[in-house]
Structure 1
Amino acid sequence: MGGNKIVVYKEPGRVEIEDHDPPKLEVPADVSKSKGLTQKAVHGVILRNVATNICGSDQHMVRGRTTAPPGQTLGHEITGEIVEKGEDVQFLDVGDIVSVPFNIACGRCRNCREGQTGVCLNVNPARAGSAYGYVDMGGWEGGQAEYVMVPFADFNCLKFPDRAQALEKIRDLAMLSDIFPTGYHGAYTAGVTTGSTVYIAGAGPVGLAAAHSAQLLGAAVVIVGDRNKQRLEQARSFGCETVDISLDASLEDQVAEILGVNEVDCAVDAVGFEASGHGADAGEQPAAVLNSIMSVTRAGGRLGIPGLYVTGDPGAPDPDAKEGTLKVRLGLGWAKSHSFTTGQCPVLKYNRGLMMSILHGKAQIAKAVNATVIPLDEAPRGYQEFDQGAARKYVLDPHGMIPAA
């Protein structure tokens, strides 16, 4: 196998490619010690990564907006080929190409058994829930790499039924590890159904995935809001209406111009804690999107909140926000009888169905998010361009296995 090139956070605004030892079939020592697991991962597999993506959640760390330490390995969106498996892996084989949920889940705890794989109880000493290459998520090595170890593989890995078909559609299938299920989760938990009018806050990759998901779920009108004109243009490219929150016209007034009424049936927050206020000169306001989706959603409506909120933000604009305490108008949500769904998407709940939608031509998620393939060595450029607002979803190709478009 040789070494293992991997993307590493060095300091705010800078990532580098480092050579690490190849992964072993072992769980992190802290997880093993605190959870009573054997360190040897007989239940795991090692993947040669076919595709591994840059995510907005990674970008929060790289901007210095989390407590991630220098040296944190990065990457939790993983699609790969099995090159080694532990002796307890029963239903997967070397050569299989699989999608890996960004949630690391044991498949055995109460939460996993109840389908809440985003908050597994056995894979993180610090809290419920874990992920590859992420701060405070258990110390699992990141997946923006040539190779990665996946534990509890029979439970976590989604095998693609046909290798040739998988490689042909790999740009779409690479989105199954996170943003497509996450966007779908936002739309689904917001109650999007046939004929719904939907507002999606944020036209980054997750927002675009939520918008495409809302279309799959039967929405009559999908409205996407952002202040990045290129990203709004990308949303319009697959049939969404758009509003520009950098304009002085209120969100409600812009929605009314589209729908004839100033509210929607349901809404999705695909922005998270680095939210901006409304208007040309508005600065960062961490609760702005949460408050705006309550304002624009009808009484009795539902709100899906897949956007990331954190408990530690060194760059927050005020002391409360630094610990995740935000000025949310909960009274408004209460008065309108809104339902809220927050937290990590439980990817395993959705990924097989979304895979089938891709394989049978019903979903074109790579087109919706403008998937753009670059070599692993160009990850620093991808991070820089993404941070500057590029209307793209960067897909890293560590081994040159992604066919030319």
Structure 2
Amino acid sequence: MKYLVLLLFLAACSRPATTVEYDNYGGIKSIVREKTGFFRVDSTAGRWLFVTPEGHGYFAIGANHTGKFLEDSSQSGPYLARFDGDSTKVREDLYQNYLRLGYNAGEAYGQHDPYLKTKLPYIAHLDYPQSDYLKIDIFDKENQQTLYDHTVAQCQPLRDDKMLIGIAFRDLPAWNKRRMDVVRSLPATAKGKERYLDFLLERYGSDLASLNKFYGSRFSSFSEIGKTEDWKLAAENEKTAKDDADFMAQIAEIWYSTLRRAVNQAAPNHLFLGERHQLRDTPDAVLQVVGKQVDVFLTQALIRSKQRPPEWQTFQPEAYRHEYELTQKPMVIVDWATPFSLGERFDSEHGPIKDEREAVRDIATWLDELTELPFVIGHFKCQFIGSHANDRWFEGKAKRTTIKDDGTDFDVMSDEIAKSQRKTLQKVYQKAKK
């Protein structure tokens, strides 16, 4: 009898493992949805997913800043040296590393590497007509047209790109007091200043005393508010924050509808992803407006705080659930990181920096918790390779990448990230099939 049991066991062990098949865009073939020829989103049985151009379910796992790394020879020099300066071979090796380490998507914002854009689905990065975008008075119809035309021009080359997941704009947009201080400082003749004065009149009526009380101001009339060009609040309180949020929602209505119209006009087959909002920084009133316009909501993982590394290393499901409740749109987390020490763990002014093995455990936990949120349809890590501006905090003693700058693996990080990311895909797709 024991030999029969052994034979049955050996027979079971000898059976080939079930092969998981993916399409040309990384979609899993066992999840079939309507084929449209471009990326779209789909919700079945409460689980959101991207759908590839070939009609298969797809959860995006990407990493940012590779294009920036390749453009900077001071960073990519060691990698190039391994391939005798042949940048083509470096790019092909990077692509193979993406696949080997569990990535099925490229980058979520620029600068994008042209080679990777042809190999891995990516999110386009568009900019605004001027770098100081806060000074665009969107209530001025001429400025609306300029924003529209500028967006159309950038979208037109993307129109038929099937590798494009969707079209996105600025990272960490300032939907906060900074934007409103610009509005308050507009000249009296500006359309935005006129709209803001109308807003205050509607909200406070003739009660100028209450406005002065909440705003800490000494205006003698509402007309004086309209003429004041150097009005910046020293501090916020609950009342001014509510006023600012409600007025920014009016700005967002025009801003996002203008962007949406431009994307629909020039690249009608592509998803509109809006801006990459910082977690817990955009007011609820604005997020509700955003949800009416975007196809997918993009959110950062960090919070404005000196303690960024510990926050990055902790998944924050309640914050993501809150964003989903407001937007009701599937979500991609576009930048998350787990800084780890290149030697022994150490304490920095930005919090404790863990060693490689501890950081790997944090990553595994982060990804595992992510799979429990049915509205999250992808994530893009900060970052795959190279240095990030914030690494200066750690004076070269820490990194946040999947592989080393010469393209070789870390002792622990690389292999364990690959395992965790493949497990993530497996769990998401299993849940999507139920």
TM-score (norm 1): 0.26
Quick check: which has more Rg, 1 or 2? Answer: 2
Q: Which has the higher strand share?
A: 1
| Higher helix proportion | 2
